Structure 1
Amino acid sequence: MPPPRPPSSFVNDRLARRRLGVASVVFFVVAAAAPLTVIAGAAVTAVAVTELTAIPIAYLIVAAGLAVFSVGYVAMSRHVVNAGAFYSYVTQGLGRGFGVSAAAVALVAYNAMQVGLYGAFGYVGSLVLDAFGLTVAWWVCALVGWAVVAVLGLLDVSLNGRVLAAMLAAEVLIVLIYDAVMIAHPAGGVVRFDTLQPGPLLDLDIAALMVVAVAGFVGFEATVVFAEEARDPRRTVARATYIAIAVIGLLYGLSAWALSVAAGPDQFVARAKSDGPDLMFNLVLPYVGSSLVDLGKLFFLTSLFAALLVFHHTVARYAYALGREQVLPAAFGRVVRRTGAPKVGSLGQSILALAVIATYALVGWHPMENMFARITTFGGLGVLILMAATSLAVIGFFRRNTLDESWWHRVGGPLVAGIFLCALTIITVVNFGSLLDAPASSPLAWGFPLAYGITAVLGLVWALLLRRSRPDIYARIGLGVETSLAQTVAPACDRKDDHLARG
């Protein structure tokens, strides 16, 4: 018996079809990674905190590891097309209960990534305006960014793609100019490759840098979130995923190495500590002048805005996928008829972000230290957990469904990636206090990871309640509207549950 079809009321509430090509999806996910923000901010901060200079090679190794993760990830995308991404993949591979747990974790993680970025956007925005003689509170800048994101979130996704393309092109161009300048003016007059040597990878302390490096890639996995809006999901997702990883990895590796060349490998840690996020700008200032440096800081701001917009879209589409299947209230499955954008999911995310910005402004917490650094780190942990779970789900999916995929795509790649990501997840949890610059005994150090455990359990409990009280809804979990296997294959691990759910 085939799985039940979605209610007819949902057929017309679909995301806009065939709007995004490979280039558009790449723009979305690379913009989410916020290259300039990661290079100028996260990479320099990582060197200062860990006192390790191997961040360039760490980025390249992580890019290789995520490419292996993508082997199974994109293989599954050829058979499961669903805006729910991790949610639908975990459901198809590990079962409906774990799928709803993954959905709950995804909603928390991506909301944290999006909301936390408003702290950095507001803070950097106030600094940029201050350079022009205007004194504006960070939360005013954050609210301006929030208003623009809220409006764009309801508009045509292809329009958003064009906005992101323009921002990303300018951002990458300025980074490459800075890289060329830094390499052309090495410390001591000699270009050195010390930070690209593989030796430090044998140091156990390198794990902290690897964790930071992985956080810099968060957003690349969102290619699958836009699958339903892609012109050719089977090809678009795969190509966009690999291109995004290559672009992000090479750009991060090159830029971090250029920073070490200009600062000098021996002085890289000291300069990172003394200059902080201004290190890149200070290194190029004598050679490019203040105008180009100010332009770079402006693109720093647009980099944050681009990431805000993409994570907003990601959260809205997760909520849409869950509302469409009534795991969340059915209203979340509605779209704006004129644009095909998720309506309630987008508005809900905007309301949450507004509440957090208002809370931080009223309480007086620091937007960078308390809002950006801590909340986005918390969000990054959630995405790492989801990637590890998805690697295992890919193996489960292909073990139960005989499809035209090679052993490497079905088992080899996902297994290697699963081991790599599970190890990084454990290391992250163990060292979470240091990542937050808080003592290991701090409630933040253990409270944030524990929150994901509680969230996952609550998701599992909700799935069991749906199985008991609404078996029709439970039977549709993870199937979406046009999943290629929806008419032939039920989610893994739930064959017996299906018989119970259908009575």
Structure 2
Amino acid sequence: MGASTSSFTRGLAKPRLGVAQIVFFVVAASGPLYAIAGGISTTYAVTGIVAVPLSFVLLAPVLALFAVGYGVMSRHITNAGAFYPYVANGIGKPAGIAVSFVAVLAYNCIQIGVYGLFGWSVADFLRQKAGIETPWWLWALVVLAVVGVLGVLRVDLNAKVLGVVLGLECLTIVVIDAVGLANPAPSGDALAPLDPSNLFVTGVGAVFALSVAVFTGFEGAATYGEECRDPARTVARATYVAIGLTAVLYTVSSLAMAVGVGPSEVVALSQQNGPGVFFGISGRHLGSTVTDIAYVLFLTSQFASLLSFHNAVARYFFALGREGVLPDGLGRTNRRNGAPVAGSLTQSVVALLVVAGFAITGREPIFELFTWLGATASTGVVLIMTMVSVSVIVFFRGRRGPETLWQRVIAPALAAVLLAVVLVLIIVNFHVVVGTSEDSPLRWVLPGLLLLAAVAGFVRSLVLRSGKPAVYANVGGIGTTGGNR
């Protein structure tokens, strides 16, 4: 079929997105309500540490430092591949391609992990409200199909869906937080969740791993750079807004959860009830009707996160296919609406295989599928952000421009050091996250997948450099003003 009649093209949709729409995507990816009710309760349950709110207080400035360099890079490089073009134009193409493989694995992990939480949440809701027993994987597969269909539609339509869902869930969070803080449980010290001595104990790295996991998504603004009306401004602004909004929500909500049920009880109750801890506060003070509505929004929050991460992963596949790093077919988009159809379908297939594998082997959806993949993803994201921070310094070395010394060197350097410290803490305490002994192979297998992905990407770069030099020369260069290495 000739190019004139083909339904596919090589470009994304025409610029349709502004700051607000990008914020919808990146904050929805974090899924505030699901991150709070599902992710934070899981953090309490898995780590046994009460000072989870303090972890968000400490992580937010680190992420803000990262955003400084990340934001100024977006003025020079506009590419749907986001992270890897930054690294390719900074440290070099081999490192950039290695990072791209890690990014694809990490974002697939966080997206697929949420299918486990969603399936469990729907099954549990039906069991409690209607007495109907259904398998978690049934609902995971249903929502997987819905996300797959929406993933091939216009990106701005997806943003409208996410905007509505995000507004409703933020309102729900504010109401339940207010109730929890205004009605503290009698047990325990209300300030214990903010006491450093309660955070820096054995397992602190696991807290950071899971806390980074619920933050994950804020850094995805650059993925939509080619579809922004003004990427030089939009990406940076959306990133700062996303960090600020989620930091406040997570800190206040995790504190409200501990205060509302009692700091001395929050760990045990999280282990027993999971997301029910947060909704239990609503049930006691707001009644069953409000709580049921909140739980439905909890489900839609997960759906919004699934859709947002699906869009991000699809664009990674698209960018890598377009540049020849992955098979060329992944670089196709729908000519009519600009959606990365091939990347979207690929992500859906990968998710289907993983969910089916966990279902067939009888694995647990929250403490295995959701937690294992979420921790793997957050480890990968911290590694990538560390590499990007270093790349900012290298990229601006000797380059003249309006960027200040703070933007070019100081903030990225501080971010790189602090993120490296967080990465080490996560790896050292990874066995706590996966709930195994220190000598369990699983504590090394999951982060080891990230290393394998990086090695595979590095090898791919060598193959391209020797076998397809023209393709190699263009890696990280589409839509950029940065130099090639």
Distance 2:246 2:112 in 1: 23
The 2-side partners of 1:112 and 1:211 are apart by 14
Deviations along 1:432-465, whole A, 9 cap, x unmatched? 1111111222221111122222221111111111
- Structure 1 partner of 2:483: 490
Q: Distance in 1 between matches of 2:474 and 2:256?
A: 51
Q: Which amino acid aligns with 2:65?
A: V
2:256 maps to amino acid? A
Deviates more, 1:153-162 or 1:108-117: 108-117
2:475 is aligned to 477
- Give the Å deviation of 1:400: 4.5
Match of 2:75 in 1: 78
Q: Give runs of aligned pairs for residues 96-495 of structure 1, distance below 5 A.
A: 96-130=93-127, 131-188=129-186, 192-197=190-195, 200=198, 206-480=204-478, 482-483=479-480, 485=481, 489-491=482-484, 494=485
2:60 paired residue among 60, 63, 67? 63
- In 2, the alpha carbon distance for the partners of 1:389 and 1:189 equals 44
Q: In the alignment, what sits opposite 1:41?
A: 38
Matched-pair contact (CA < 8 Å) for 1:183–1:191: no
Contact 1:21–1:230 at 8 Å: present in 2 too? yes
Shift in CA distance, 108/189, structure 1 to aligned 2, threshold 3 Å: closer
How far residue 149 of structure 1 moved from its aligned partner, in angstroms, is: 0.5
Task: Provide the secondary structure at the position in 2 that maps to 1:135.
Answer: coil
Q: Is the 8 A contact 2:184 2:262 kept in 1?
A: yes
Q: What fraction of aligned residue pairs are identical, expressed as a percent?
A: 43
Q: Secondary structure at the match of 1:187?
A: coil
Matching residue's letter, 1:46: T
Equivalent-residue separation in structure 1 for 2:389 and 2:168 (angstroms): 34
Q: Distance in 1 between matches of 2:173 and 2:355?
A: 30
- CA shift at 1:189, angstroms? 10
Q: Distance in 1 between matches of 2:423 and 2:111?
A: 21
| Worse-superposed segment, 145-154 or 376-385 | 376-385
Task: Name the SS of the counterpart of 1:355 in structure 2.
Answer: helix
Secondary structure (helix, strand or coil) at the match of 2:274 reads: helix
Question: Using a 3 Å threshold, how does the CA distance of structure 1 residues 95 and 269 change in structure 2: closer, same or farther?
Answer: same
SS in 2 for 1:25: helix
In the alignment of these two chains, the number of paired residues is 478
Which runs of 5 or more residues in structure 2 are unaligned?
1-5
For residues 204 and 393 of structure 1, the distance between their equivalents in structure 2, rounded to whole angstroms, comes to: 32
d(CA) in 1 for partners of 2:337, 2:274 = 42
Q: What's the CA shift for 1:74?
A: 0.4
* Aligned equivalents of 2:266, 2:374: Cα separation in 1: 25
- Tell me: CA distance 1:52–1:426, structure 2 relative to 1, closer, same or farther (3 Å): same
Moved more, 204-213 or 449-458: 204-213
Structure 2 Cα separation of the partners of residues 323 and 274 of structure 1: 45
Q: Secondary structure at the match of 2:287?
A: helix
Task: State the Cα distance separating 1:399 from its structure 2 match.
Answer: 1.0
SS in 1 for 2:476: coil
CA distance in structure 1 between the partners assigned to 2:358 and 2:43 by the alignment = 25
C-alpha contact (below 8 Å) 2:209/2:375 kept by paired residues? no
Q: Aligned equivalents of 1:116 and 1:212: distance in 2?
A: 13
How far, CA to CA, are the matches of 1:411 and 1:239 in structure 2?
Answer: 20
Q: TM-score, normalised by structure 1?
A: 0.91
| Cα distance in structure 1, aligned partners of 2:338 and 2:18 | 16
Q: Matched residue of 1:397: which SS? A: helix
**1:92 paired residue number:** 89
Whether contact under 8 Å (1:391, 1:417) holds in the other structure is yes
Q: 1:354 to 1:270 in 2, by over 3 A?
A: closer
User: What secondary structure, in the 3-state scheme, does the structure 2 residue paired with 1:127 have?
Assistant: helix
Aligned CA-pair RMSD: 2.0
CA deviations 1:65-86 (Å, max 9, x no partner) are 1001100000101111111011
Q: Distance in 1 between matches of 2:89 and 2:151?
A: 29
Distance 1:54 1:364 in 2: 33
Structure-1 separation of matches of 2:425 and 2:200: 15
TM-superposition CA deviations, 1:134-159 (whole Å, max 9, x none): 43322221111011101110000000
Q: Which amino acid aligns with 1:71?
A: V
Shift in CA distance, 12/365, structure 1 to aligned 2, threshold 3 Å: closer
Deviation sequence 1:198-249 (CA, Å, 0-9, x none): 5656657544423322222111100110111111101111110000000000
Q: Tell whether the 8 Å contact from 1:200 to 1:206 is kept in structure 2 after alignment.
A: no
Map of 2:3 onto structure 1: none
